[in-house]
Amino acid sequence: MAQVNMQLVKELRDRTQAGLNDCKAALVEAEGHLEKAVEVILKKGLVKSAKRAGAVASEGLVLTTLSADGKLGAIAEVNIQTDFAARNGEFIAFANKVVEAALKAKPGVDLGNEPFPGGTGSIEENRAALVGKLGENITVRRWDRLAIDGAGRVHSYVHMGGKVGVLLAVRAGSEAAATAPAFEKFVDDSAMQIAAMAPQFLNVSEMPADARAQQAAIFDAQLIEEGKPDAARPKIIEGKLAKWAKDVCLLEQQSVIDTEKSVEALRSSLAKELGAEVTLSRFVRFERGEGIEKPATPDFASEVAKMAGG
């Protein structure tokens, strides 16, 4: 039988809100694999949904920047230990230099090795120096960049003072369309949609087959637990997958601006209005602290002690 440590149990419980014993049993069944244990919990119908990995927050900032012509954008997450330090002027200045460097860097490089904009040394050398000065650990956690050629633009949106950041690339059929106020409003609204609704995919056609298959397996196992007959399950699963796609695919989502329409319907309507194609090309969404795990809370420790008879 696989050994299951309480930190894994805690993380599974944070993600699913299932009972402690159920989480422990699921991890044993999954031989200690967290993602498989999440599936076990979902398939057994113990909960209806689970948080994506990385729901625990950490401090710091998500920042974005754009090139002067709007054809290139960068996004970066820079973390620090406390909220108080995240408001420090020197930390904010450092984080802004990081995203400035990201705009100039080649895709996939180690940003820490890049020159520090407007200063001396590398990003990593300046990070280490600031750690020593502020007395808190700082990490340049992740970054990405979007570029677009031809008519269109890359748009950025930062929400809640750096908690969520979005980059969105949108193509237009002509330069006139790309500079139209209606196009600019649609792009801005779509970026806000991404920030608010956290889609995982652009549209159904770009959804990876394994993601769809995994979700179908979860729905199937839930229906088995509910006692649904074999013959009825495939049709029910298709319906559930269609509903799920409306939650996780940007173009299928209900618009937060016009709740009577989907994002795709608004895109199509705009293209007709402008007489030019409008295509959402790619987006990147960073939420501060995604995937950063914090120590077990006193509440969790108390629950473990209670189970042990303490």
Q: The domain spanning residue 28 has which CATH number?
A: 1.10.8.10
Last residue of a domain, one of 147, 175, 208: 147
pLDDT band at 294 (very low <50, low <70, confident <90, very high): low
Mean pLDDT to the nearest integer, 130-154: 93
Domain assignment present for 270: no
Domain assignment present for 52: yes
Among the ranges given (29-38, 171-180, 227-236), the one the predictor scored with the smallest mean pLDDT: 29-38
Short-list 169, 200, 201, 190, CA closest to 256: 190
- Tell me: do 138 and 82 sit in the same domain: yes
Last residue of a domain, one of 112, 132, 147: 147
- Tell me: do 89 and 37 sit in the same domain: no
Which domain range does residue 119 map to?
57-147
Domain assignment present for 50: yes
Domain assignment present for 85: yes
- When divided into structural domains, the chain yields a total of 2
Domain assignment present for 23: yes
- DSSP sequence for 57-101: --EEEEEEEE-TTSSEEEEEEEEES-HHHHT-HHHHHHHHHHHHH
Report helix, strand or coil for 168. Answer: strand
Report helix, strand or coil for 115. Answer: strand
Last residue of a domain, one of 97, 129, 147: 147
Domain assignment present for 118: yes
Domain assignment present for 258: no
- Tell me: do 10 and 49 sit in the same domain: yes
Q: pLDDT at position 58, please? A: 78
3-state helix, strand, coil in the chain (%, to 5): 50, 20, 35
pLDDT of 69 higher than 50: yes
pLDDT of 303 higher than 50: yes
Domain assignment present for 136: yes
- Which DSSP symbol is given to 201? B
Gap between the Cα atoms of 212 and 193, Å rounded = 22
pTM here is 0.76
